[in-house]
Amino acid sequence: MSRRVFDILTSSAGVIIVVVLVIAGGLLTWGHSFASSNVHNQLAQQQIYFPPKAAFEHPKAGTEITPSMIPSVSQSAGQQLLTGEQAKTYADDFIAVHLSEMPYGGVYSKVSAAALADPKNTQLQNVVQTVFRGTTLRAMLLNAYAFSMIATIMMWGAIAAFIGAAIMAVLVGLGVWHAMGLAATPFFLWLATFGFLTLIGESIALTRMMKSDTKSGDK
């Protein structure tokens, strides 16, 4: 097999890889956008707000704001819960803290078992309802966080796919240039450069989109 034929075959395979990577990047970008927008919209509909800044001025154990909430929950004071990171903070550092202060550590299975064993205890029945609601809301918020993480992984996957496609496009251009000789130099160098710059531009745009999604909870 001559070197020219080898260059053409490898360049053809490279073109296929570029197309596959671009399609994969596009699909991952769509997946990121779909998951991020759904997480944002679903959280927005719940209209959950963090306690106002004034509430964090005097934290005290056993009250709405405890000292353990200052490093995390206070960072979103007064804001509406709109992002996956905020959902995780609210679930683990706010709801979970209040649940842990309830009878049986706020574990629903234990509280429910105790209530079934003492059905006439109205106070315990009320605790069951409170723990159930808190546990359910916490689980829903953590699910939102999980989907937001999936969206982030998709975004980075899209960036990697586009960068890989850009690099492969350059290699394909050089391979075809080598196969066709120096006469084709200007065209294929221009083609490789154009493909590289275009795909790098896509990657930068995706990175900015991800940063925009991350900051959406501050609006």
151-202 pLDDT, tens per residue?
Answer: 999 988 988 888 888 888 777 777 766 666 644 556 555 656 666 666 666 6
Sole residue written with tokens 């927008």: 37
Average pLDDT, the chain: 83
- Please state the rounded mean pLDDT for residues 65-75: 93
Q: Give tens-digit pLDDT for 109-155.
A: 999 999 999 888 889 999 999 999 999 999 999 999 999 999 999 98
Stretch 25-53: mean pLDDT, rounded? 92
Task: Give me the number of domains the chain comprises.
Answer: 1
- Range 100-108, long-range pairs (CB < 8 A, 24+ positions): 101/62, 102/127, 102/130, 102/131, 103/127, 106/131, 106/134, 106/135, 107/131, 108/132, 108/135
pLDDT given for residue 96 in this prediction: 94
This prediction has a pTM of 0.77
Phi and psi based region of residue 103 (left: phi greater than 0; alpha: psi -120 to 50; beta: remaining): beta
Host domain of residue 142? 3-218
Residue 94: its H or E element: none
